[in-house]
Structure 1
């Protein structure tokens, strides 16, 4: 195994750290965590629920990485940033509309 130069190791650890922290904080208290909590309580088999939930989260993350790599190979970062911004604005507008009308 080749040893990465210092700046490459720090870059890898920075990417890993920011990814971990972002996903960890985003997942705290969300629907997936609450569903996992309920399934664990109902099944009385917390380790089986943990293995199922972990496998599902790893699978969805892998899918995100594969699709993200495919998108990045076809579009510029600026285009992806604009598309993400427009998508978030549309989602926000839809949620706002549901609150106002609903």
Structure 2
């Protein structure tokens, strides 16, 4: 149990560090002068999106094999990479 918890915690922590959500939260906190309210709102939003991810992941695990999920996830990431690369080439 603790292995799953810690790997999830550190993976999400590293993925979220310095992303647009954190930057938006910093700006909102600076502008509102209410850091604890911003913290509560941002925390609730992150918990909500995590809940959607967990519920969707649980549903998918009941309908699709792990091998297929890995394949689809890999294909999705490769597709996103190709689209981003194409965007860089076209807009350069």
TM category (shorter chain) comes to over 0.9
Q: Superposed, which structure 2 residues align to 1:42-81 within 5 Å?
A: 42-81=31-70
Say what the alpha-carbon RMSD is for the aligned residues. Answer: 0.3
Distance 2:2 2:36 in 1: 29
- 1:34 deviation in Å? 0.2
The equivalent of 1:86 in structure 2 is: 75
The equivalent of 1:17 in structure 2 is: 6
**Equivalent position SS for 2:27:** helix
Q: Which runs of 5+ in 1 are unaligned?
A: 1-11
- 1:41 deviation in Å? 0.2
Per chain length, whose mean CA-contact separation is higher, i.e. which structure has more relative contact order (CA < 8 Å, sep 6+)?
2
- Give a deviation string over 1:42-94, Cα, whole Å, max 9, x none: 00000000000000000000000000000000000000000000000000000
Q: How many equivalent pairs are there? A: 91
Give the ranges of 4+ consecutive aligned residues of structure 1 lying more than 2 Å apart after TM superposition: none
The equivalent of 1:8 in structure 2 is: none
- 1:15 deviation in Å? 0.2
The equivalent of 1:27 in structure 2 is: 16
Distance 2:12 2:32 in 1: 26
